[in-house]
Chains A and B, each alone.
Chain A
């Protein structure tokens, strides 16, 4: 009997003790491994930043290599069912799966990256990567000698299409003769296929590569072939020092820290966040001084400043689509809804957008 009482007291003691300092559990769903040195890597850097900022207030876990299909439901549910308070799902095609699980766990908060469907416990967040594409496009317009740019795209979703359009608009402004060749790889992550696409584009005359896939294989292929490339998601210069012009870096840490803090404080509410260079969510990697002239670097930096203060908008009219229809009138800029649902190429891009 005494033993039993001691047992009960100790159990109570433990549960009370842990309730006081109960850290919030934050879960992450990754499309690739954190070692891709691209998209997932930067989310993981953000996760670590969040942990370092909030200290003992949070613990975090992640599940990597989660496919964008029904498996995602299981992975998300696993986190939700194991007591996580806040779950970040970090790829576009986790959208419906996130909502499905969010519906089952109304007390758990969800944050879905790059999507547009929300619920009372589902927020969305994304970065204005296209601001970086504008700067890449400007640089490419100046540096291409063959007037041919190779673009390795992943899936035809608005985020990727927007990047292509922003890039082309800026590049063709500098160099009206520029042509952009696009390969849709239909994968985010396959080093072999990304290298194939890169080599195919180089073989077809591209002297600058742009990628919207997750590994540094295209940059490596560019290095080998002696052409130029832009890194993706993180600074990839160490893998292709003689090809890497700059990269668009995704800085998620401050956002993750802020949202986790909101959960700790109990102030979390559903919202849509779409931050860019001004807020520091999109950052350009150091420009390669070996490959770019000082003037060009200064122009790029000036563009960064202009984008941050709002005097330069990547989608400033007049913008026509491929059929010649005026989408954005002269003097106007595309609104967020148009950019978030963009499913058309701007005029001047050859080829048809796959559906």
Chain B
């Protein structure tokens, strides 16, 4: 294998993995504050369609990304209102958000299907994804505010007793997650496969959710996990193209299988699961209790 081909493989892996990194790091921040948002796929789709439509209408890439992030904030804001203020069940609300997002994005995008656009160079976003992971990691482990975020995810009652606003912090976590998912979606519709197609994220939101568990809620490990998932899928394509028989079906399920194995490992030991998962994950916070 010559060096150019190897370089090409690395490029393809970087391009294919970046949306997973964006969505997973966003969801990680949300989950760190103790909220599970299963709406990742829906928010990605709405982000993808709003970026695409904005680009078609205005011709401005910057505006496209801004509108997309705004759409992510609105979608996750809706989720936040339901789970933080109305105390709805997080799992059910998140699933509903995904179903809503699939439908909404299809509806908005209908007139724009098949509109040709010029794709944007993806490398800026590849670099940005690494920077964001680094910043999130720095935020959680080196800043006081990061410590408060983590504390809210571990024990909202104690944090509340110490005078921190649990709802506000969770709101920020949810909104950050929403904007990252929208960014992942807009990257897909503008850089990765520059088009709008219904359901074009094709399950990447669920892989991102699995990644957070796979990474045992550690920001740095998101990168490792995402590049394992993304890298393996591109490598198997290369092996196939070289004429080696490789079970592609297996790699379609590999991310979920790997996540289940990680879940089994961390659940086998009580201490381990306590050290990994935010203790208040999915537990609603009632102020007056």
- Complex contacts, A354 vs chain B, CB 8 Å: 245-249
Q: Please, how many angstroms separate the alpha-carbon atoms of A200 and B243 in the complex?
A: 13
Interface-located stretch among A72-80, A191-199, A285-293? A191-199
Cβ-defined contact, A186 with B248, below 8 A:
yes
Q: Is A224 an interface residue (CB 8 A)?
A: yes
Q: Is A327 an interface residue (CB 8 A)?
A: no
Partner of B16, one of A186, A187, A192, A204: A192
Partner of B106, one of A33, A183, A197, A224: A33
Cβ-defined contact, B8 with A192, below 8 A:
no
Given the known A-B contacts A182-B241, A187-B202, are A200 and B9 also in contact in the complex, defined by CB atoms under 8 Å?
yes
Partner of A33, one of B199, B203, B242: B199
Cβ-defined contact, B241 with A181, below 8 A:
yes
Q: Which residues of B188-209 have CB atoms within 8 Å of chain A's CB atoms? A: 188, 192-195, 197-204
Cβ-defined contact, A200 with B12, below 8 A:
yes
Q: Is B119 an interface residue (CB 8 A)?
A: yes
Cβ-defined contact, B233 with A196, below 8 A:
yes
Partner of A35, one of B5, B110, B240, B247: B110
Kindly count the residue-residue contacts between A and B in the assembled complex, taking CB atoms under 8 Å apart. Answer: 117
**Closest chain B residue, CB of each to CB of A197:** B237
Q: Please, how many angstroms separate the alpha-carbon atoms of A200 and B233 in the complex?
A: 11
* Distance in Å: Cβ of B5 to nearest Cβ of chain A: 6
Which residue of B106, B109, B110, B243 has the most chain A CB atoms within 10 A of its CB atom?
A: B243
- Complex contacts, A191 vs chain B, CB 8 Å: 188, 193, 195, 197, 200, 202
Cβ-defined contact, A238 with B116, below 8 A:
yes
- Complex contacts, A187 vs chain B, CB 8 Å: 202, 252
Cβ-defined contact, A35 with B202, below 8 A:
no
Q: Is B172 an interface residue (CB 8 A)?
A: no
Q: Is A29 an interface residue (CB 8 A)?
A: no
* Distance in Å: Cβ of B150 to nearest Cβ of chain A: 33
Cβ-defined contact, B241 with A183, below 8 A:
yes
* Distance in Å: Cβ of A64 to nearest Cβ of chain B: 8
Partner of A351, one of B116, B119, B201, B243: B243
Cβ-defined contact, A190 with B237, below 8 A:
no
Cβ-defined contact, A217 with B245, below 8 A:
no
Q: Please, how many angstroms separate the alpha-carbon atoms of A224 and B194 in the complex?
A: 11
Q: Is B60 an interface residue (CB 8 A)?
A: no
Q: Is B234 an interface residue (CB 8 A)?
A: yes
Partner of B5, one of A190, A204, A350, A351: A204
Q: Is B113 an interface residue (CB 8 A)?
A: yes
Q: Please, how many angstroms separate the alpha-carbon atoms of A26 and B113 in the complex?
A: 25
Q: Is A37 an interface residue (CB 8 A)?
A: yes
Partner of A190, one of B9, B202, B238: B202
Given the known A-B contacts A220-B195, A351-B245, A352-B245, are A192 and B240 also in contact in the complex, defined by CB atoms under 8 Å?
no
Cβ-defined contact, B244 with A185, below 8 A:
no
Q: Which residues of A150-196 have CB atoms within 8 Å of chain B's CB atoms? A: 150, 181-187, 189-196
Q: Is A65 an interface residue (CB 8 A)?
A: yes
Q: Is A321 an interface residue (CB 8 A)?
A: no
Q: Interface residue count for B (Cβ, 8 Å)?
A: 43
Q: Please, how many angstroms separate the alpha-carbon atoms of A278 and B118 in the complex?
A: 38
Q: Is B114 an interface residue (CB 8 A)?
A: yes
- Complex contacts, B12 vs chain A, CB 8 Å: 196, 199-200, 203
Q: Please, how many angstroms separate the alpha-carbon atoms of A38 and B204 in the complex?
A: 22
Cβ-defined contact, A204 with B242, below 8 A:
yes
Cβ-defined contact, B237 with A183, below 8 A:
yes
Q: Please, how many angstroms separate the alpha-carbon atoms of A224 and B248 in the complex?
A: 26
Cβ-defined contact, B192 with A192, below 8 A:
yes
**Closest chain B residue, CB of each to CB of A200:** B237
- Complex contacts, B119 vs chain A, CB 8 Å: 220, 224
**Closest chain B residue, CB of each to CB of A352:** B245
**Closest chain A residue, CB of each to CB of B199:** A65
Partner of B195, one of A183, A186, A200, A217: A217
1/0 per position for B129-146, CB-CB distance to A under 8 A? 000000000000000000
Q: Is A232 an interface residue (CB 8 A)?
A: no
Q: Which residues of A235-249 have CB atoms within 8 Å of chain B's CB atoms? A: 238-239
* Distance in Å: Cβ of B94 to nearest Cβ of chain A: 20
Cβ-defined contact, A35 with B188, below 8 A:
no
- Complex contacts, A89 vs chain B, CB 8 Å: none
**Closest chain B residue, CB of each to CB of A215:** B197
**Closest chain A residue, CB of each to CB of B240:** A183
Cβ-defined contact, B202 with A182, below 8 A:
no
Cβ-defined contact, A186 with B252, below 8 A:
yes
**Closest chain A residue, CB of each to CB of B236:** A183
Q: Is A216 an interface residue (CB 8 A)?
A: yes
User: Assuming A33-B198, A354-B248, what are 11 further A-B pairs, CB within 8 angstroms?
Assistant: A35-B110, A183-B241, A192-B200, A192-B201, A192-B204, A220-B195, A224-B119, A239-B116, A351-B240, A351-B243, A352-B245
Q: Could you jot down 16 A-B contacts, CB within 8 Å?
A: A35-B113, A35-B114, A184-B248, A189-B202, A191-B193, A191-B197, A192-B192, A196-B15, A199-B8, A199-B12, A200-B237, A201-B241, A203-B11, A217-B193, A224-B119, A354-B249
Q: Chain A: residues with CB nearer than 8 A to chain B?
A: 32-33, 35-37, 64-65, 150, 181-187, 189-197, 199-201, 203-204, 215-217, 220, 224, 238-239, 350-352, 354
Q: Chain B: residues with CB nearer than 8 A to chain A?
A: 5, 8-9, 11-12, 15-16, 19, 106, 109-110, 113-114, 116, 119, 188, 192-195, 197-204, 233-234, 237-238, 240-249, 252
Of all A-B residue pairs in the complex, the 5 with the closest CB atoms, nearest first, are A35-B113, A203-B8, A191-B193, A33-B198, A352-B245
